């Protein structure tokens, strides 16, 4: 497409309830949207970076800056920009995968809208709906945790994920498994353990968990490989999987037997598909992680999760899990599943009244003349 203008919108959306992990507590989401405008189509992208750099080195203010100062100037210099070329064009800018992913997503959305192609069909989706799991934050009170899990099961979620950290792991997991004996259950440590503190994680083997997600630091593939030999619970990697090459290395080292794919973390939907294809060829199950996305990012996640290698329920919760009011038509759980959008591109667009309600800032970028 030919870029005529780009809008960068900053939104602030309150969460329905505080969401606590070992990384911190979120009470609202600061959102950066990328809106690309061309002569024949426009497209939307969502940056999944959080307000502070606690999940990764990226944060929403920094992503805004790098998109404005370094990414779009390179794309504006091209007569035409294709989503397939974004990675190479932005290659001179080191890092910033979440920022780059939002740019690629917007351009891909515009391309697919122009051709009338749904994102799921483009990626290779084989399902019309996807099984949904839900991520449950850390609770100080076990009784409250049990009530929260019960409420999500009543809504129809097909898998529960519990956030854990040192000092809040064995007891809450035991309580949930004891109360809800047959549910698919997994845990996520968000890299909060060290090799020295991970010895007690073998106690989780008693609870028949689907997986133990990212117990150690992002760069510690060797530590994960060692831990995988010491526990029976399958190790899944999240933060460590930054590309298809990183996924191949982790699998070869025995650092994981399951992979969490987040398009924003790996630099875009096209790299996410490459990771999926690699894992499918290696017989490694994958599932789709979530980053508290609005309906735009959720639409992309659901389309991605409909690919054949996504055999475990993802964190593709309904809109109401996080927001009383989304910026698109809400995704509503039906029978524990969400439908894959069938419209062109992402299949959803922001509602003007909701954009106006939640937008706290906007700037428009234009190509330089001459």
Nearest-angstrom CA–CA distance, 289 and 119: 18
Which tokens hold the place of 123?
A: 């990626």
Which of 160, 149, 220, 214 is CA-nearest to residue 184?
Answer: 160
- The maximal CA–CA distance of the chain, rounded, in angstroms, is 69
CB atoms within 10 A of CB 229: 8
β-pairing verdict for 5-21 and 359-365: antiparallel
Is 163 a residue of the active site?
yes
The residue annotated as part of the active site, out of 100, 161, 262, 368, is 262
**DSSP-derived secondary structure letter, 182:** T
| Backbone angles phi and psi of 272, in degrees to 5 | -60, -40
H-helix or E-strand spanning residue 3: none
Buried b (16+ CB within 10 A) or exposed e, 264-284: bbbbbbbbbbbbbebbbeeeb
167: left (phi over 0), alpha (psi -120 to 50) or beta: left
Is 161 a residue of the active site?
no
Nearest-angstrom CA–CA distance, 280 and 283: 5
Which tokens hold the place of 188?
A: 């996520």
Which of 326, 288, 264 is CA-nearest to residue 105?
Answer: 264
H-helix or E-strand spanning residue 216: none
**Catalytic residue IDs:** 163, 262
């Amino acid at each position: 497409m030919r870029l005529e203008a780009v809008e960068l919108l900053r939104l602030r959306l309150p969460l329905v309830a505080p969401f606590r992990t070992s990384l911190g507590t979120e009470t609202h989401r600061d959102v950066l949207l990328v809106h690309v405008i061309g002569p024949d189509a426009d497209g939307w992208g969502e940056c999944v970076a959080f307000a502070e750099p606690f999940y990764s080195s990226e944060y929403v203010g920094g992503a805004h800056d790098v998109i404005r100062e370094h990414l779009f100037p390179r794309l504006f210099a091209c007569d035409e920009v294709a989503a397939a070329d974004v990675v190479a064009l932005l290659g001179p800018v080191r890092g910033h995968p979440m920022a780059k992913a939002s740019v690629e997503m917007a351009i891909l959305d515009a391309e697919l809208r122009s051709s009338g192609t749904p994102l799921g069909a483009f990626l290779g989706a084989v399902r019309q709906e996807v099984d949904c799991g839900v991520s449950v934050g850390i609770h100080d009170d076990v009784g409250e945790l049990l009530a929260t899990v019960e409420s999500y099961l009543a809504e129809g979620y097909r898998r529960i994920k519990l956030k854990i950290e040192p000092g809040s792991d064995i007891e809450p997991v035991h309580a949930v498994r004891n109360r809800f004996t047959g549910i698919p259950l997994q845990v996520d440590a968000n890299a909060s353990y060290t090799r020295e503190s991970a010895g007690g994680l073998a106690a989780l083997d008693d609870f028949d968990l689907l997986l133990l997600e990212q117990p150690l630091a992002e760069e510690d593939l060797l530590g994960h490989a060692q831990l995988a030999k010491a526990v029976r619970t399958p190790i899944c990697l999240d933060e460590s999987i930054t590309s298809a090459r990183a996924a191949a290395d982790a699998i070869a080292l025995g650092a994981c037997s399951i992979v969490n794919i987040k398009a924003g973390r790996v630099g875009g939907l096209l790299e996410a598909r490459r990771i999926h294809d690699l894992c499918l060829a290696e017989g490694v199950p994958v599932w789709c992680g979530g980053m508290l996305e609005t309906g735009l990012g959720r639409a992309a996640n659901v389309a991605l999760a409909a690919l054949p290698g996504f055999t475990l329920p993802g964190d593709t919760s309904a809109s109401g899990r996080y927001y009383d009011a989304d910026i698109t038509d809400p995704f509503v759980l039906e029978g524990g599943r969400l439908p894959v959008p069938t419209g062109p591109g992402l299949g959803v667009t922001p509602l003007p009244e909701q954009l106006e309600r939640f937008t706290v800032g906007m700037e428009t970028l234009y190509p330089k003349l001459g």
